[in-house]
Chains A and B, each alone.
Chain A
Amino acid sequence: MSIRAQLMMVMALDKCLGCHTCSITCKQAWTNRDGAEYMWFNNVETKPGTGYPRRWEDQERWRGGWMLDGKGRLALRAGGRVKKLTTIFGNPDMPLIDDYYEPWTYDYANLIDAPAGPGTPVVTPRSRLTGKPMDLTWGPNWEDDLAGTLAPDDPALSGVEDEVLLRYEQVFMFYVPRICNHCVNPSCVASCPSGAMYKREEDGIVLVDQDKCRGWRFCVSGCPYKKVYFNHLSGKAEKCIFCYPVTENGRPTVCSETCVGRIRAVGVVLYDLDTVAAAAQTTRASDLVEAQRELLLDPHDACVAAAAERDGVPHEWIAAARRSPVLALAKELRVALPLHPEYRTLPMVWYVPPLSPVLDTLTAAGYDTEDPDEVFPTVGDLRVPLRYVANMLAAGDPAPVQESLRRLLAMRIVKRRRQLGEGSPAAVASEGGMGLDDVERLYRLLALSPYDERYVIPKARREHAGAGQAHHGDDTLGGRGRG
């Protein structure tokens, strides 16, 4: 056993209203700079949709993340070490800026400098790359709310009956905010030839050492979520830093802090470094979610706590893991699921799947969504939204999504019955596989979401910050590693 602590986030998709406050505040904090104009450490995508960068989920094209080789061992999808070094002069899998969008500004000076004339002066868009006028044909969040019906181009729709999907009464839509997943098995770190990327031992945050990055760009293509970006002016990679200057002080990330819908929970989980490889190498796709759940350890277990203490996890961090909202949602209450577990990077940002597409479909089909006898049997029959969400959050296996949705439904019906004093709440809770205390806990985390219960973040311990305090970059790379 070798226990590590990790900061993890869970987002409840039903509560996301698609306001993009997270994206904007993140941008103002971190990527409001030249060379970073096109970067969104946090972005919100409308699903179904092609996403940012376009079709990022199409790993046949971008070849990000891990796969199992012929012998069932973990291998980078883009190829091994030799392949990387021989293609280092031109990365074959790297997106073009147009796959994100060409950043632009406006010639604001024209408002003041335009000569007197009959019309009102206007500003026209100018490329931030060339300074020349440009036509806007694509940009950030261009397909918001299914605009332009690019949905059929969504890679996650493969295997879903798409002719049915876009029929009016079948249309569904939800938002997915995305940040770096700070994976336990990060393929970006594994892809970096320079060894500039690393995972912090204390909190699992994945960072790029700007002094060591040489701009080989394999992290950009190696990340299947396309959450490492290339600063085209500095020639270095940049990514979400989980707002570590803030989380080190025990406060939530900017995207979490400013989330209007309170959809995000941030907390500590413990995992065993020695079981990471086995979890990532799970053979069957339908076992991936469970394997990744099992990776998260129970901090109430005395053996786990003792091992964590022994391996240098501070006492407050173990205590925080016991109050962890993310562990509750992901493992104890089994409602949160990892984004694309089939990429095998063991992501540490999980999602509570959205119930609204399912309820909308049921309502459209004439069901009473408050009646458990009508709702529960039909959840499994709702192939279209269910298969789609399963492609996103469960490697195509509808069972974990169904389980999660049944629990969310049960919670709603139980709370309604208690409010109105009708029926037997306990029977409904057990339809979702829960007891009444589980329902209350779920309700408290998802519906009330008190600030200091949805964010349980211990401060970083300064005295654990290492002995070599003078220089940046004099550490021993490759010393502590896992191959």
Chain B
Amino acid sequence: MNAQHAWQVAAFVILPYVALTVFVVGHVWRYRFDRFGWTSRSSQLYERRLLLIGAPLFHYGTLLAILGHATGLLVPKSWTTALGVPESAYSAFSKVAGTTAAVLVVIGLAVLTVRRARSDRVRAATSRIDWLAIGLLWAMIGLGVGVTVGYNVLGPGYDYRETVSLWMRGIFTLSPSVSDISAAPWIFQVHATMAWLFLALFPFTRFVHFWSAPVWYLTRPFVLYRRRRGEVVLSPGESRGWRTFGRSSAGPRL
């Protein structure tokens, strides 16, 4: 085993566990105390044209990218081999799907970022945590595209399933292998680090709307009825549930 540097332990062991803890606890906290703030904070009311181009591209691209990461990182290579998928076929498929996702996400995010920066109305409604999230998203996605397109499509190619994926699964089995991830090219290491930072920020941003994907709308009855409740209703600011993250509890900004 190679000697482990302190920074490697910090980046590849400590950071992932801290990030995952913040991710889980942050979501629980947010859901319990800021359900009123749990929304996509859509800005479609301010600007429609660019949003209708950028948002579907970005979201569909992101969903594809998430699926790709889940497959590449969580499914062991031995499983796909056992299923009779040859390495060349897997690699070709991952290149095509990965490049598609990269194109969709980059174009979509570019349109959305330009829109957010250029439209006075949208910019005025953008908080600091939104800009931080966008910056982190660009860093993470830029490196990710570098991995997919720069390394695997145009470059020499790298089988991350032999190193990065092993380390990743090791995190979930509580035996992260620093040497595996250390063996990967630097761009994979930085991309992964950005992703951990992003996950730690995630519960405190509008990205929480990811968990609200309303798939059960497909099966529920159209018109819902509820009985009136007998509880004491608190005014905004009195109840913890009305406190919105990123804004003072006293009232709205502006």
- Known contacts A128-B254, A214-B38, A472-B241: A94-B48 contact under CB 8 Å: yes
Query: Chain B residues with Cβ under 8 A from A465's Cβ?
Result: 227-230
Q: Is B96 an interface residue (CB 8 A)?
A: no
B87: A residues at CB distance < 8 A = none
Q: A89-B59, A466-B228, A482-B221 are in contact. Are A34 and B253 (CB under 8 A)?
A: yes
Set A84, A94, A475: member contacting B45, Cβ < 8 A:
A94
Check A480/B224 contact, CB under 8 A, given A96-B48, A214-B39, A236-B36. yes
Contact indicator B55/A90 (Cβ below 8 Å) = yes
Q: A67 to chain B: closest CB distance in Å?
A: 14
A475 to B241: give the CA distance in the assembly, Å. Answer: 16
Interface string of A347-383 (1 = CB under 8 A from B): 0000000000000000000000000000000000000
Q: How many Å lie between the Cα of A6 and that of B55 in the bound state?
A: 40
State how many angstroms separate the Cβ of B136 from the closest Cβ of chain A: 21
- In contact, A466 and B230 (Cβ under 8 angstroms): yes
Contact of B241 among A89, A211, A464 (CB under 8 A): A211
B120 contacts A132, CB within 8 Å?
Answer: yes
- A147 shortest CB reach to chain B, Å: 26
Chain A 452-468, CB-CB to B under 8 Å as 1, else 0, gives 00000000101011101
- In the complex, are the beta carbons of A201 and B225 less than 8 A apart? yes
Chain A residue, CB-CB nearest to B221: A481
Counting chain B CB atoms within 10 Å of each CB, which of A34, A89, A97 scores highest?
A: A89
A213, chain B: closest CB distance, angstroms: 7
Max chain A CB contacts within 10 Å: which of B48, B59, B123?
B48
Decide: A216 and B214 in contact? CB cutoff 8 A: yes
Q: Nearest Cβ in chain B — how far from A271, in angstroms?
A: 13
A473 within 8 A of B: yes
- Nearest A-chain residue to B119, judged by Cβ: A130
B229 CB contacts on chain A under 8 angstroms: 465-466, 468-469, 472, 475
Q: Is A308 an interface residue (CB 8 A)?
A: no
* Residue pair B252, A81 in contact (C-beta under 8 Å): no
Of residues 185 through 214 on chain B, the ones whose CB sits less than 8 Å from some CB of chain A are: 206, 209, 212, 214
Q: Residue B125 at the A interface, CB < 8 A?
A: yes
Please determine whether B46 and A475 come into contact, CB atoms closer than 8 angstroms. Answer: no
Q: Is A435 an interface residue (CB 8 A)?
A: no
Cβ-defined contact, A94 with B225, below 8 A: no
State whether the Cβ of A124 lies closer than 8 Å to any Cβ in chain B.
no
CA distance A85 to B213 in the complex (A): 9
Expressed in whole angstroms, the minimum distance between the Cβ of B21 and any Cβ of chain A is 26
Is the beta-carbon distance between A129 and B224 smaller than 8 angstroms? Answer: no
- Are B40 and A215 within 8 A (Cβ)? yes
Rounded to whole angstroms, the CA-CA distance of A410 and B229 in the bound complex is: 47
Size bin of chain B's contact surface: 35 or more
- Contact: B217 with A84, CB < 8 Å? yes
* Shortest Cβ distance from B59 into A: residue: A89
A131 within 8 Å of B (CB atoms): yes
Residues A214 and B226 in contact, CB atoms below 8 Å apart: no
A234-B244 in contact given A91-B44, A193-B214, A217-B42 (Cβ < 8 Å): yes
Determine whether the beta carbon of A130 is less than 8 Å from that of B212: no
Given the contacts A90-B55, A129-B124, A200-B225, A213 and B231 also touching, CB distance less than 8 Å: no
Q: What is the CA–CA distance of A96 and B36 in the complex, to the nearest angstrom?
A: 23
Taking the closest CB of chain A, its distance from the CB of B248, in whole angstroms, is 12
Q: Is B52's beta carbon under 8 Å from chain A?
A: yes
By a CB distance below 8 angstroms, the chain A residues around B1 are: none
CB distance from B223 to the nearest CB of A (A): 5
Q: Which residues of the partner chain A approach B216 to less than 8 Å between Cβ atoms? A: 195, 478
A48 CA / B152 CA spacing, docked (Å): 64
Q: Tell yes or no: A233 within 8 A of B by CB.
A: yes
- B209 and chain A: residue at smallest CB distance: A214
Closest B residue by C-beta to A186? B223
Known contacts A215-B40, A232-B125: A466-B227 contact under CB 8 Å:
yes
- Which of B42, B58, B221 has a CB less than 8 Å from the CB of A478? B221
Closest to A100 in B: B45
Judged by a CB distance under 8 angstroms, whether B222 is at the interface is yes
Any chain A CB within 8 A of the CB of B5? no
Q: A84-B217, A85-B218, A190-B222 are in contact. Are A129 and B46 (CB under 8 A)?
A: yes
Residue numbers in A under 8 Å from B39 (CB-CB): 213-215, 234-236
Does B69 have its Cβ within 8 Å of any Cβ on chain A? no
Q: In this assembly, does A257 line the interface, its C-beta being within 8 Å of a C-beta of chain B? A: no
B224 (CB) vs chain A CBs: closest residue: A198
- B60 part of interface (Cβ distance < 8 Å): yes
In whole Å, how far is A42's beta carbon from the nearest beta carbon of chain B? 20
With A193-B214, A472-B229 as given contacts, are A235 and B42 in contact (CB-CB < 8 Å)?
yes
A119 contacts the other chain (CB 8 A): no
Q: Mark B166-187, 1 if CB is under 8 A from A, else 0.
A: 0000000000000000000000
Task: For A215, give its contact among B47, B209, B231 (CB under 8 Å).
Answer: B209
Select A34's contact among B44, B56, B224, B254, beta carbons within 8 Å: B254
- A473: which of B35, B41, B42, B222 is its contact (CB, 8 Å)? B35
Known: A185-B223, A482-B223. A202 touches B228 (CB 8 A): yes
- State whether B214 touches A35 (Cβ < 8 A): no
Residue of B nearest to A102 (CB): B121
Contacts of A185 in B (CB 8 A): 223
Residue of A nearest to B48 (CB): A96
The one of B224, B230, B231 that contacts A195, using a Cβ cutoff of 8 Å: B224
Task: Give bound CA distance, A213 to B36, whole Å.
Answer: 8
Given contacts A127-B121, A189-B222, A469-B230, 18 further A-B contacts (CB under 8 A): A85-B217, A87-B56, A89-B58, A90-B51, A97-B121, A199-B224, A199-B226, A212-B35, A234-B39, A234-B244, A235-B41, A462-B230, A465-B227, A477-B220, A480-B226, A481-B222, A482-B222, A482-B223
Could you list 5 A-B pairs, sorted by A, with CB under 8 Å? A199-B225, A217-B44, A232-B46, A464-B227, A472-B241
The 9 A-B pairs at the shortest CB distance, nearest first, are namely A481-B221, A465-B230, A193-B214, A190-B222, A235-B39, A483-B221, A235-B41, A215-B39, A34-B252
